[in-house]
Amino acid sequence: MSKTPSLESRPLASKAALGVVIVILGAALAVLPIKWAALLLIGSIAGVGALIRPALTLCLLPFAVPFGLLREVTLGPISVGGAELLLAVLVGTWLAQSVSRRRIVVPRAPLMLPLAIFLAALLLSVLAATSLELSGKEIVKWVEVMLIYGLVAQEADDRLGRWIVWAMLAAASAEAALGIYQFLFRVGPEGFVLFGRFMRSYGHFAQPNPFAGYLGLCFPLAYALSLDTLPRLARVLRGQASQLPAALLPLAAAAVTGAAMLTSWSRGAWVGLAASVATVTLLRSRRALLLSGLAGVCLALVLAMGGGRFIPAALVQRTANLIPLASGVDLAHVEVNDANWAILERMAHWQAAAAMFNDHPWLGVGTGNYPVAYPRYAVGRWRDPLGHAHNYYLNVAAEAGLVGFVAYVLLVTACLLEAWRVIRRTRGTGWWNAVALGVLGILVHLSVHNLFDNLYVHSMNVQLGLALGLLVLADRYGRPSVEPPAAGGEQPEQATPCA
């Protein structure tokens, strides 16, 4: 008699094994501290979802950007957060399924080439690096961008793409709500106090500027979808109750994230916000362009007639402090006070980055090595390297030289042109066109805000990879005249056979 289990006994064994796993998991949840129990539960759900369909993990990645910082694991010199763990699960299960099918389909998407060129430029700059550890961390960020972009392009279908968008809006809304709570109830360090009664919002990012930068990578998407939703909102309220959550979520997300960006008191984020809102509004339609122009003329007339006196004095002072950035003050002789300290410190780092580039024009000081090189170029009293130059363009020029700077400018240009191309190809098709427009707004905010900061921190590179992936989905599913390809985008001519 054969000892091989019968077909009838196998489901029973599987159920028994599943029962044992559930019992062990339940016992662990009962015994472990609440924080570890929550992490175990979330990890188990993510693991099961990834095994069923690896692409489902993409819907969890947006939450890992703001909330993954709650618990980080240190592995030697590297700190691993929620985003890195989820990405490892995603890539691991994708590879396992590819090997089981005895074929690996290499993702092909329009921005893979410029991403690869920039990554190659960073790798080349390692030849000049002092700290290989810091260089490795920076390179890993851009490898993650490529992986997420490629996996969204290859694995996500129309429905999953929509869930990724909702996840991005939900995660940003939750983080923004926390920031508004901090602002109103004065929760945070004393250094963030505003007017003696409020607190600068900072969320889970420890600092207001990266918090506002993260929201700036979400707000344009919510804003663009809100503009797409508003014309249909009355009809939805009258009789299509099932569509009400999908109609209200973008509006709510835009309201709460926009408010939280204001309460962050981050000037760089405000400039990026203005640029992204103007871009999305002007490209939405000709009517929006005309209305925006009319609103601009009216605002100019109001200000010319003395309306500026109604603007809160604190807001005027906050923006007026940006003047030294354009005037090129002498840092060696300027009087430093609480009002101009942050601006002058930023200018000192800009000068240090420019000096690094002058001394190392081709390959820079090595990607990620700005903090190591900074003490040799520190200006005046500003001796703290702060991790980066607070201007990513200067930072990449200092760290990767002219080669890296040109490669980055080409990457940014390629991303903006690709977003513009997708917007034109999907014009008049509704939802996915709004998504493409929102992604363009995200790229505009990123490009502008990076003039004053470095937004490739705190796993925000994950947000960029997801946004770029949405462009591929918008191009694929937002054109009604083209039959969309099957989910997964399998292309036999790209298949690499496995041994």
- Residue 481 half-sphere exposure toward CB, CA atoms < 13 A: 4
Whole-angstrom distance, CA of residue 272 vs CA of residue 445: 4
Supply the pLDDT for residue 371: 96
* Helix-, strand-, coil-residue percentages of the chain, each rounded to 5: 70, 5, 25
State the pLDDT at residue 4: 42
- By C-alpha distance, which of 209, 335, 329, 180 is closest to 267? 209
Q: How many CA atoms lie less than 13 Å away from 248 in the CB half-sphere?
A: 8
What are the C-alpha distances in Å from 473 to residues 186, 302, 307? 41, 43, 45
Please give the pLDDT value at position 318.
Answer: 56
- 487, 156 contact by CB (below 8 A): yes
pTM of the model: 0.85
| Number of neighbouring beta carbons within 10 Å of residue 114 | 19
- Tell me if residue 190 falls in helix, strand or coil: helix
Identify the pLDDT of residue 193.
Answer: 92
Residue 306's contacts (CB-CB under 8 Å, 6 or more residues apart) are none
Identify the pLDDT of residue 376: 95
First to last CA, the chain: 36
Give the pLDDT confidence score for residue 349 in this predicted structure: 93
Do residues 221 and 435 lie in contact, with contact meaning Cβ atoms separated by under 8 Å? yes
- Asked if residue 467 lies in contact with residue 443, where contact means CB atoms within 8 angstroms, the answer is yes
Q: Are 64 and 83 in contact (CB under 8 A)?
A: yes
Tens digit of pLDDT at every position of the chain (499 positions): 444 444 344 455 445 545 655 666 666 656 666 656 666 666 666 666 666 676 778 998 999 999 876 666 665 556 677 788 888 888 888 888 778 787 777 778 999 999 999 999 999 999 999 999 999 999 999 999 999 999 999 999 999 999 999 999 999 999 999 999 999 999 999 989 998 889 999 999 999 999 999 999 999 999 999 999 887 776 766 666 667 777 889 999 999 999 999 999 999 999 999 999 999 998 987 777 677 677 777 766 775 666 555 556 555 555 555 555 555 566 666 777 776 778 888 889 999 999 999 999 999 999 999 999 999 999 888 899 999 999 999 999 999 999 999 999 999 999 999 999 999 999 888 899 999 999 999 999 999 999 999 999 999 999 999 999 999 999 999 976 554 454 444 443 344 444 3
For 329, the enclosing helix (H) or strand (E) is none
3-state class (DSSP) for residue 205:
coil
Query: What phi and psi, each to the nearest 5 degrees, are found at residue 80?
Result: -110, 125
Q: Residue 416 has what pLDDT? A: 98
Which strand (E) or helix (H) includes residue 194?
strand 193-194
**pLDDT the model gives residue 74:** 62
Q: For the range 347-352, what are the long-range contacts, defined as Cβ-Cβ under 8 Å and sequence gap of 24 or more?
A: 348/378, 348/379, 348/380, 348/382, 349/374, 349/382, 349/386, 349/388, 349/389, 349/390, 349/391, 350/389, 350/390, 350/391, 350/394, 351/377, 351/379, 352/377, 352/378, 352/379, 352/389, 352/398
CB 446 within 8 Å of CB 145: no
| 425 neighbors 486 (Cβ within 8 angstroms) | no
Give CB contacts under 8 A, 24+ apart, made by 41-50.
43/85, 46/86, 46/89, 47/89, 50/89, 50/90, 50/93
Q: Give the pLDDT confidence score for residue 305 in this predicted structure.
A: 65
Distances (CA, A) of 309 to 262, 304, 306, 475: 20, 11, 6, 47
